[in-house]
């Protein structure tokens, strides 16, 4: 600007307030910790203790919410990772969020770019391999039928390398990549095809194996573990799948170690609900799934060595009823362990029992006496939907491949005794993945948190001196998982021993056989009182914890999006002048273009895409998009879907009592399901929302959007505090349960009673 030229009006406040803006840019709190691996560290604690930006009092609907979301290609089941201050090529220092998808894409997004446009370009993006549908098809526990990157990568921040395993759909082979996080995600080292042979000649067969557990980087070695590709399906020709742990030297990707869990009999896969192997010095810990051999349904400890095959079995622990678990598909391997300092390993499986083991020997340290059915450990979780012993006992599920499995649908409130939890995955609460451990909860104790399937979110106290985990919950939330699979997956943020929040992602329905909507919720970690939640219409990412760093919470979804939450401008904790300066800075900063919401037919299309399209729970369109032809100028579209598993927790329908043929595109082994009808309705004042089954029928019988209830104002969702569903409309709501059917609540709108 030349001398004597007047200062432009917009520049004046910027110059006057520049001291404030400079001060706010130099945040004295400093960056929090990076998130370089699943559940934050090799102990798999799930905690970050350097989070100063998210005290519980600031996390509510008025100050905290969605900052932005980003479109990606494919669903995200790998936990997002976060690295501070990456010197991105040609762009300077950036805080980066790393996302890996089922279609083999890896993305690096600028964490601090809050542009609301979901198509905002990533800093880097790269597809590592072809990502077509699995051939031959696998069971519907993978509704997308795409198995690209399903394990969480691991990052070595010291040399800026991200290690990731991708499956190529052209040849069904796996490749380990070492990517440069600062330079276009290029290869830092040539990728290597994964292959192995155990000492007895058993060869690794990628055709029937899946790398589901998160990668582990320990002592300069990247460890990759495998279980079944899908639903315990064996390899072509009847050769069994197996559990594998393979080690690769990080500096050159040379294979250093091979361990097979089941050379003698097959099976004993390692999947752990996506949780990674635990590392402690030269030792590795994990849990295995179904298998008849000595390491089937077991806790396993390996030790790295310099002699072939590079990993040696040091210890194991099989529960006394491991054979019963194997017969009933009630495997221990659904869960993953956490290491509690200094020497306790804690984990559980589908029975909902926790095992507390000596990390040196894997001997139980606080077992209950063995009962008549041989179960050990202690019953940490129950099937709370079927826990009333004064109700009739649930029968056996007639069409199940496991004859003792529980039928909890025919009599909705029937009772399942805990002694039956070993009889099948429909009986017990099902622990999936690993717990979270807040080590700094108190000088005397830490807290172990988990939301198992079919039970309430709980915390258990761990006595640091006695090395003892209480068998009764220390805290129990009023919020529980929906009936069905899979429970919730959590991370904890805290400022050391204070301001702790447990962040939980969980499904709003039975997420085992279909992709269903999910919820991200925040709980005060000292009380388990819910502080906030958001559904957002996103599909639940199965087994994937949220990632917390720098006051941001990153949520993976199966909707082809990643969502980032945080405090709104001017809401940050700190002194009043800091908040004032932030508000002023936001006011003078060039505004990002407003997010353009789709309207009419486009709004219906976007909602259907968010719900997973034809691989989501809505199924396939039953009509074209149509105008409602009312004063609101609304639009709607009808759909026809099939629910497998627990129907009433997923849609407002009673389960079919007779087998029906599979819907188009469904595999025969999915078993009998329940067909249902649903609709998406949109208006400019309410947005696009989903209504299903008997709630939909009751609403349409009362005139639908033109009737006294008006348009839906939110997606149908589980009823609070009770089994069933609820949908809210402009002028009322309809609740539903399998026992009582659809009810318009008279206390809200008496004129709407039937």
**pLDDT value of position 368:** 63
The domain containing residue 607 runs over which residues? Answer: 600-752
Q: Is residue 595 part of a domain?
A: no
Q: How many helices (DSSP H) and strands (DSSP E) are in the chain?
A: 6, 46
DSSP state of 54: -
For residues 575 and 638, membership in a common domain is answered with: no
User: Residue 349 maps to which CATH number?
Assistant: 2.130.10.10
pLDDT beneath 50: ranges in the chain: 1-29, 659-671, 749-754
For residues 291 and 148, membership in a common domain is answered with: yes
For residues 461 and 573, membership in a common domain is answered with: yes
For residues 531 and 643, membership in a common domain is answered with: no
Q: How far apart are CA 299 and CA 357, in angstroms?
A: 9
Q: Is residue 40 part of a domain?
A: no
Q: Residue 406's beta-bridge partner residues?
A: 396
Q: Which two tokens stand for residue 151?
A: 């394990």
**pLDDT value of position 589:** 54
Q: Which two tokens stand for residue 419?
A: 């002694």
With vertex at residue 577, the alpha carbon angle to CA 574 and CA 582, rounded to the nearest 5 degrees, is 80
- Of the residues 585, 620, 647, the one at which a domain ends: 585
Q: Is residue 391 part of a domain?
A: no
For residues 372 and 504, membership in a common domain is answered with: yes
Q: How far apart are CA 149 and CA 162, in angstroms?
A: 13
φ/ψ (deg, to 5) at 298: -140, 155
For residues 573 and 499, membership in a common domain is answered with: yes
- φ/ψ region of 536 (left if φ > 0, alpha if ψ in -120 to 50, else beta) reads left
What count of other Cβ atoms lies within 10 Å of the Cβ of residue 6? 8
For residues 676 and 546, membership in a common domain is answered with: no
Q: Distance from CA of residue 168 to its chain's centroid?
A: 24
Q: Is residue 395 part of a domain?
A: no
Pair 289, 334: CB distance under 8 Å: yes
Pair 350, 344: CB distance under 8 Å: no
**pLDDT value of position 611:** 95
Please count the structural domains in the chain: 2
371 to 46, 368, 422, 538, 645: CA distances (angstroms): 33, 8, 12, 43, 30
φ/ψ (deg, to 5) at 464: -70, -30
**pLDDT value of position 754:** 41
For residues 467 and 535, membership in a common domain is answered with: yes
User: Which one, of 476, 396, 381, lies nearest residue 430 by Cα?
Assistant: 381
For residues 106 and 211, membership in a common domain is answered with: yes
Strand 489-495 vs strand 47-48: parallel, antiparallel, or unpaired?
parallel
Q: Is residue 296 part of a domain?
A: yes
Q: Is residue 199 part of a domain?
A: yes
- Of the residues 585, 611, 631, the one at which a domain ends: 585
Q: Is residue 697 part of a domain?
A: yes
For residues 561 and 612, membership in a common domain is answered with: no
User: Tens digit of pLDDT for each residue in 43-73?
Assistant: 999 999 999 999 999 999 999 999 999 999 9
User: Tens digit of pLDDT for each residue in 227-267?
Assistant: 999 888 999 888 999 999 999 999 999 999 999 999 999 99
**pLDDT value of position 6:** 36
For residues 240 and 312, membership in a common domain is answered with: yes
- Of the residues 585, 612, 636, the one at which a domain ends: 585
Encode 493-527: b = buried (16+ Cβ within 10 Å), e = exposed. Answer: bbbeeebbbbbbbbbbbbbbbbbbbbbbbbbbbbe
Q: Residue 688's beta-bridge partner residues?
A: 682
For residues 638 and 498, membership in a common domain is answered with: no
DSSP state of 237: G
Q: Is residue 13 part of a domain?
A: no
């Amino acid at each position: 600007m030349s001398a004597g030229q007047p200062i432009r009006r917009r520049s004046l406040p910027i110059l006057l307030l520049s001291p404030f803006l400079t001060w706010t840019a130099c945040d004295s709190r400093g960056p929090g910790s990076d998130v370089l691996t699943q559940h934050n560290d090799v102990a798999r604690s799930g905690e970050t203790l350097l989070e100063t930006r998210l005290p519980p009092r600031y996390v509510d609907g008025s100050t905290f919410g969605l900052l932005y979301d980003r479109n990606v290609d494919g669903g995200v089941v790998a936990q997002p990772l976060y690295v501070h201050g990456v010197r991105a090529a040609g762009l300077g220092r950036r805080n980066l969020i790393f996302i890996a998808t089922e279609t083999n894409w890896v993305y690096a997004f600028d964490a601090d770019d809050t542009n609301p446009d979901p198509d905002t370009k990533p800093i880097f993006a790269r597809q590592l391999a072809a990502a077509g549908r699995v051939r031959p098809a696998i069971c519907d526990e993978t509704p997308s039928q795409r198995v690209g990157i399903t394990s969480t990568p691991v990052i070595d921040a010291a040399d800026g390398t991200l290690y990731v395993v991708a499956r190529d759909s052209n040849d069904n082979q796996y490749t380990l990549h070492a990517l440069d996080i600062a330079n276009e995600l290029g290869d830092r080292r040539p990728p290597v095809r994964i292959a192995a042979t155990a000492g007895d000649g058993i060869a690794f067969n990628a055709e029937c194996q899946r790398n589901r557990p998160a990668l582990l980087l320990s002592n300069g070695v990247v460890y990759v573990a495998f279980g079944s590709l899908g639903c315990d399906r064996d390899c072509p020709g009847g050769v069994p799948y197996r559990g594998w742990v393979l080690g690769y030297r990080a500096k050159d990707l040379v294979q250093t170690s091979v361990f097979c869990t089941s050379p003698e009999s097959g099976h004993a896969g390692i999947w752990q609900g996506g949780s990674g192997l635990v590392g402690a010095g030269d030792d590795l810990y994990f849990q295995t799934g179904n298998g008849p051999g000595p390491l089937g349904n077991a806790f396993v400890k390996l030790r790295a060595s310099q002699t072939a095959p590079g990993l040696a079995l040091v210890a194991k622990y099989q529960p006394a009823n491991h054979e019963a678990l194997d017969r009933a598909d009630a495997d221990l391997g659904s869960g993953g362990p956490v290491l509690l300092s200094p020497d306790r390993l804690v984990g559980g499986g589908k029975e909902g029992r926790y095992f507390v083991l000596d990390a040196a020997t894997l001997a139980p340290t606080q077992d209950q006496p063995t009962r008549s059915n041989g179960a050990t450990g202690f019953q940490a979780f129950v099937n709370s939907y079927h826990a009333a012993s004064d109700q009739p006992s649930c029968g056996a599920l007639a069409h199940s491949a496991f004859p003792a499995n529980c039928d909890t649908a025919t009599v909705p409130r029937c009772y399942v005794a805990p002694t039956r939890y070993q009889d099948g995955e429909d009986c017990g609460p099902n622990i999936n993945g690993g717990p979270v451990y807040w080590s700094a909860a108190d000088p005397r104790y830490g807290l172990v948190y988990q939301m198992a399937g079919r039970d309430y979110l709980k915390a258990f106290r761990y006595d640091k001196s006695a090395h003892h985990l209480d068998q009764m919950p220390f805290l129990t939330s009023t919020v529980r998982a929906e009936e069905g699979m899979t429970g919730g997956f959590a991370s904890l943020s805290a400022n050391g021993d204070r301001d702790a929040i447990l962040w939980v992602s969980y499904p709003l329905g039975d997420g085992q056989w279909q992709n269903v909507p999910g919820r991200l919720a925040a709980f005060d970690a000292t009380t388990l009182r819910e502080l906030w939640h958001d559904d957002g219409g996103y599909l639940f990412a199965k087994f994937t914890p949220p990632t917390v760093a720098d006051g941001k919470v990153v949520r993976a979804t199966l909707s082809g999006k990643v969502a980032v939450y945080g405090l709104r401008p001017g809401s940050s904790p700190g002194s009043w002048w800091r908040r004032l300066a932030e508000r002023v800075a936001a006011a003078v900063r060039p505004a990002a273009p407003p997010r353009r919401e789709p309207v009419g037919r486009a709004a219906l299309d976007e909602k259907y895409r968010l719900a997973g399209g034809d691989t989501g729970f809505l199924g396939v369109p039953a009509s074209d998009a149509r105008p409602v032809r009312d004063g609101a100028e609304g639009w709607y579209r009808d759909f026809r879907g099939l629910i497998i598993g627990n129907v009433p927790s997923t849609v407002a329908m009673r389960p079919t009592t007779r087998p029906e043929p599979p819907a188009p595109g469904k595999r025969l082994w999915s078993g009998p399901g329940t067909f249902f009808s649903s609709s998406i309705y949109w208006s400019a004042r309410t947005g696009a929302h989903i209504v299903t089954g008997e709630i939909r029928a009751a609403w349409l019988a009362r005139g639908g959007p033109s009737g006294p209830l008006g348009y839906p104002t939110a997606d149908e969702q589980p009823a609070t505090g009770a089994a069933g569903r609820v949908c809210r409309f402009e002028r009322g709501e309809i609740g539903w349960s399998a026992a009582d059917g659809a009810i318009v609540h008279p206390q809200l709108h008496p004129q709407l009673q039937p």
